[in-house]
Amino acid sequence: MIDSRAAFHQSRAHNSLLAFLILVLLTGCSVLRSQPVPPPDPAITIVVAPVSLEATVRKSTQIHSFDAAPTPEDEPLIKQQLIEAVELHAQRSLTEHLAKQPGFTVIPFEDTQRLQEQLNLSGRILDEKQVLLLAEQAKADIAITPRITAYGSVPWKYWAAGLGAQNLIELMVVGFATGWNPAAIGGYFAIDFLLIDLPLWAGGAYIAGWAFRPVIVEVEAVQLGSCPGAIWNKQEEAIKVPGKTLEEYPPEERKLKHIQLQANLNHAMEEIVETASQRLRLQPCMERGQPLKIRRWALWPFSLWPF
């Protein structure tokens, strides 16, 4: 019995790995790194606009670990304070990571905060005109507006496509391996979905030292000057927090939701900045007076993958 279980788990691991490798081949453009390019010269001045946490947060306990859950009376205020804290941390994190890149002159976080207060833009989600106003007052060439669209769990619109593609590939692998035996295929997917996929994609799992706290960040860059307009956008996902990352925190903090989420948020920002350092440049005008958009070539319509 033990041998059969071990063989099943070994076979399942091989199938999952093969499915992953197939998807990597299909999404090679998102895995392979382009050759480094020189930093912009002259330097580009960038301001990071306020971050909006657009992910649905029904309760504060979804994004923060408490010794005792807030009372119903305190819940609305505490939830709002936690959301604002996440937004401020994200704005600061992206600002500080961008400032480390050669060729970028980034308006410091504190200066941006002061400008927001002077322009009466604090504590609100900015529309396009307000973002441009903030950038003009900061004398920036480019304004970057970040949005957090998943925080702690992945919305259906993101993970339905990703999970569907993963299961389609696994179906082909398992089908050929079992001779298309319905009972074997059904049993495999029942275990796979309930014990693996649902916790990973929906968030909240803690397996073998890895915490699964999904975070998705989307950014849009708008240039000013003689040819203003949106020039670049980027989505970055962080699903797992490796045990190595969690080791940077005290042992008593490693299983806290807000620590795990913050670690993944920081990782997503780092990945966005890495791409920006290679791709984000001022763009020329097209015939209709709109700037040329920086595009990302892709074979696959999504990049969300938990590994």
Q: Where exactly are the structural domains of the chain?
A: 2-29+155-202, 33-154+209-279
- In this structure, are residues 44 and 144 in contact, taking their beta carbons and an 8 Å threshold? no
Confidence check: pLDDT of 50 > 70 = yes
- In this structure, are residues 143 and 49 in contact, taking their beta carbons and an 8 Å threshold? yes
* Cα gap 233→270, rounded to integer Å: 15
Mean pLDDT of 160-187: 72
Residue of 217, 67, 70 whose CA lies nearest to 150: 217
Tell me the pLDDT tens digit for each residue of 23-48. Answer: 444 444 444 455 678 888 899 999 99
Report helix, strand or coil for 68. Answer: coil
Highest CATH level, class, for 33-154+209-279 = alpha beta
* Cα gap 89→51, rounded to integer Å: 9
> What's the pLDDT score for residue 153?
80
Q: How many CA atoms lie within 13 A of 104 on its CB side?
A: 25
* Cα gap 162→177, rounded to integer Å: 23
Residues ≥6 apart with Cβ < 8 Å to 233: 218, 219, 220, 221
- In this structure, are residues 110 and 206 in contact, taking their beta carbons and an 8 Å threshold? no
CA 129 to chain centre: 26
pTM: 0.75
Indicate the average pLDDT of the chain: 81
> What's the pLDDT score for residue 301?
41
In this structure, is the dihedral angle defined by the CA atoms of residues 155, 158, 161 and 164, taken in order, positive or negative?
negative
> What's the pLDDT score for residue 169?
74
> What's the pLDDT score for residue 161?
59
